[in-house]
C-alpha cells in the first residue's frame, strides 16, 4: 500500500490529460517520443489487445510505485514515525493478558477464525434481522465477524504494527478489538455519536460534535481538540496539520505542536454550502467532498517541504460534475476519484494548465457511500466501493471491471484495508466483517440465505 500521494497531480507533460488519454487532437502529435507519453485510451477502458502497444500502459509501473494509493483516513503521513508495538493502556479486559504478542502471530490468529463456507456463525438476536454476510469472487474469503456495536459503524482503523482494531459507531462508542483473541478489549463511551474514526501515523482520531478526541499510540496521551461547526464528519492529516470536515460546511485545521498537543485555535476555511462529508490530501492539495454536490480543491499559497501553513490555505477550484452528495474522495496514481449519491464514480485529472477536469465516469446501480484502495497479490490496483445495496464491489483499475463483491445484510458505511490482503467492512447494524483477498484460493461464492442481495 502506498503511504503518500505526493506529486500525483503535479507532474506536467507536453500534452493535456485528454491527449494523454488518447482524446486530444492527434494531428498535433507527430514526434514518436510524444506518442510514447500518451496513455492508451483502450487500456484505460480495459480492452487494449495490442502487445506491444505504442501507447503507454501505466499499470505496469503503478504496482511498483510507492505512490500508487492514498486512501482517505487510513494511511500515515509522510513524516510520521512507524508504529511498532503500542502499549496496552487501551485494553481493559483482564482476560487479554497477551496483547503485546508479536504482530505477525496476532494476524495469523485472526486468520484462524475463517468461516467454513459450509457453515454460518450465529448472530445475536438484536442484530439478526437480515444479517447474512456473503461474497463472490476468486480469492475472496470471509475471515470472521465482530459483534458488539448496536448502530452504524462510522470508522475502522488497524494501525500499522498494531494488534488492535479500532471501530467507532453511531451508538456513541469506540470499541477496541484484540486481534489475538477476536474479543473486544475496551469500550469508550461518548456523549455524542461518532461521526468518523481515522488512524493517521501515531494518532487515533474520533470525530464528535464540535470536537475531536485523539489518542497518541506511542505516548498513550489523550487530547481533546475543540472546534465549532457541529458534527465532525471527516478527518485527514498531512505532515503536522490536522483537517476536519464539519457539519456546517467549514473545514477546520490545527497544527500539531508536539507529540501530545495541537494548536488551541483552529484555522477555518469556508466555502461549502452543505456539510463536508469527505477529505483527502494528494499532491500538496486538499480535496473536500460535500453534500452541496461539489468538490473543492484547496492548496497553500506559501508551501515549503518542511512546513504547511494552514493560514495560507485557499480554494483554487470547485469541481461541479456531480448531481448528488459527494460522499467519498480518493487519490489514485495521477487521478482523483470521487463517489456520489448520484450513482456515479468520476475520475478527475490535471491538465497542462493546472486545472482539474473530469476524464472518465463509471455508473453504478446505487448511491456510492465509501471508497478504499488496495493491491492484490500481483500488485494490481483494486478499488473497493460500497454502495447503498448492502455490498462492496471490488473493481480492477483502470478498467472498472468487477472482480468480486462482499455483502452484508445492511448498507456498508465504512471500509478499511489492512495488511496481506485483509480488509474490513462495517455496516448500518453495527456488524464488522473481516475479509481476505488472495491471488488464488478462497471460495468462488458464499451466500448463506442472502435475502437482501439484489443479485439473487
> What are the b/e assignments for 271-304, b being 16+ CB within 10 Å?
bbeebbbbbbbbbbbbbbbbbbbbbbbbbbeeee
Q: How far apart are CA 166 and CA 177, in angstroms?
A: 6
Phi-psi domain of 329 (left: phi exceeds 0; alpha: psi -120 through 50; beta: other) = beta
* Residue 349 DSSP SS3: strand
Residue 94 has a pLDDT of 33
**In 3-state terms, the chain is what percent helix, strand and coil (to 5)?**
10, 45, 50
The residue whose grid cell reads 471491471 is 401
d(CA 351, CA 276): 26
Provide the grid cell at 315: 480554494
Position 180 scores a pLDDT of: 84
**In the prediction, which pLDDT does 439 show?**
65
**In tens digits, what is the pLDDT along the chain, a chain of 456 residues?**
333 333 333 333 333 332 333 333 333 333 443 444 455 655 555 556 666 776 666 544 333 333 334 555 433 333 333 323 333 222 233 333 332 333 334 433 443 344 333 333 333 333 334 445 788 888 899 999 999 999 999 999 999 888 999 999 999 999 999 988 889 999 999 999 999 999 998 899 999 999 999 999 988 899 999 999 999 999 999 888 999 999 999 999 999 888 788 988 898 999 999 999 999 998 888 999 999 999 999 987 655 433 445 567 889 999 999 999 999 999 988 899 999 999 999 999 988 888 999 999 999 999 999 999 999 888 899 999 999 999 999 999 999 999 999 999 899 999 999 998 999 999 999 999 999 998 654 455 443 433 233 333
Radius of gyration (C-alpha) of the chain in whole angstroms: 22
Residue 249 confidence (pLDDT): 96
Q: Give the model's pLDDT for residue 334.
A: 86
Query: What pLDDT does 236 receive?
Result: 95
pTM of the entire predicted model? 0.72
So what's the pLDDT on residue 158?
95
| Cell matching residue 323 | 448531481
371, 330 in Cβ contact below 8 A?
A: yes
Amino acid at each position: 500500500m502506498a503511504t503518500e500521494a505526493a506529486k500525483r497531480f503535479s507532474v506536467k507533460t507536453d500534452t493535456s490529460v485528454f491527449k494523454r488519454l488518447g482524446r486530444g487532437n492527434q494531428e498535433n502529435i507527430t514526434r514518436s517520443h510524444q506518442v510514447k507519453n500518451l496513455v492508451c485510451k483502450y487500456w484505460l477502458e480495459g480492452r487494449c489487445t495490442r502487445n506491444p502497444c505504442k501507447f503507454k500502459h501505466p499499470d505496469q509501473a503503478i504496482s511498483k510505485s510507492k505512490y500508487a494509493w492514498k486512501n482517505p483516513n487510513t494511511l500515515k503521513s509522510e513524516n510520521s514515525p512507524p508504529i511498532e508495538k503500542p502499549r496496552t493502556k487501551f485494553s481493559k479486559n483482564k482476560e487479554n493478558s497477551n496483547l503485546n504478542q508479536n504482530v505477525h502471530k496476532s494476524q495469523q490468529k485472526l486468520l484462524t477464525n475463517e468461516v467454513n463456507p459450509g457453515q454460518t456463525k450465529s448472530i445475536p438476536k438484536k442484530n439478526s434481522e437480515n444479517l447474512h454476510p456473503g461474497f463472490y469472487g476468486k480469492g475472496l474469503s470471509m475471515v470472521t465477524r465482530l459483534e458488539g456495536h448496536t448502530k452504524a459503524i462510522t470508522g475502522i482503523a488497524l494501525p500499522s504494527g498494531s494488534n488492535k482494531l479500532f471501530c467507532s459507531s453511531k451508538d456513541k462508542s469506540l470499541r477496541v478489538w484484540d486481534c489475538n483473541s477476536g474479543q473486544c478489549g475496551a469500550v469508550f463511551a461518548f456523549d455524542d455519536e461518532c461521526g468518523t474514526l481515522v488512524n493517521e501515523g501515531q494518532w487515533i482520531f474520533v470525530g464528535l460534535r464540535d470536537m475531536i478526541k485523539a489518542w497518541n499510540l506511542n505516548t498513550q496521551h489523550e487530547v481533546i481538540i475543540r472546534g465549532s461547526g457541529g458534527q465532525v464528519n471527516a478527518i485527514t492529516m498531512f505532515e503536522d496539520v490536522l483537517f476536519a470536515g464539519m457539519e456546517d460546511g467549514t473545514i477546520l485545521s490545527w497544527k500539531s505542536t508536539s507529540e501530545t498537543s495541537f494548536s488551541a485555535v483552529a484555522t477555518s476555511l469556508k466555502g461549502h454550502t452543505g456539510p463536508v462529508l469527505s477529505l483527502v490530501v494528494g499532491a500538496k492539495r486538499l480535496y473536500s467532498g460535500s453534500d452541496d454536490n461539489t468538490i473543492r480543491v484547496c492548496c497553500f499559497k506559501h508551501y515549503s517541504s518542511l512546513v504547511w501553513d494552514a493560514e495560507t490555505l485557499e480554494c483554487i477550484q470547485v469541481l461541479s460534475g456531480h448531481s448528488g452528495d459527494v460522499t467519498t474522495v480518493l487519490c489514485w496514481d495521477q487521478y482523483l476519484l470521487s463517489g456520489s449519491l448520484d450513482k456515479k464514480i468520476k475520475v478527475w485529472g490535471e491538465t497542462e494548465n493546472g486545472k482539474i477536469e473530469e476524464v472518465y465516469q463509471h455508473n453504478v446501480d446505487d448511491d456510492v457511500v465509501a471508497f478504499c484502495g488496495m493491491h492484490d497479490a500481483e500488485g494490481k490496483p483494486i478499488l473497493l466501493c460500497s454502495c447503498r445495496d448492502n455490498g462492496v464491489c471490488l473493481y480492477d483499475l483502470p478498467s472498472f471491471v468487477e472482480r468480486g463483491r462482499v455483502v452484508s445484510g445492511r448498507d456498508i458505511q465504512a471500509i478499511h484495508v489492512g495488511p496481506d490482503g485483509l480488509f474490513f467492512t462495517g455496516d448500518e447494524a453495527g456488524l464488522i466483517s473481516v475479509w481476505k483477498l488472495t491471488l488464488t484460493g478462497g471460495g468462488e461464492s458464499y451466500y448463506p440465505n442472502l435475502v437482501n442481495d439484489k443479485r439473487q
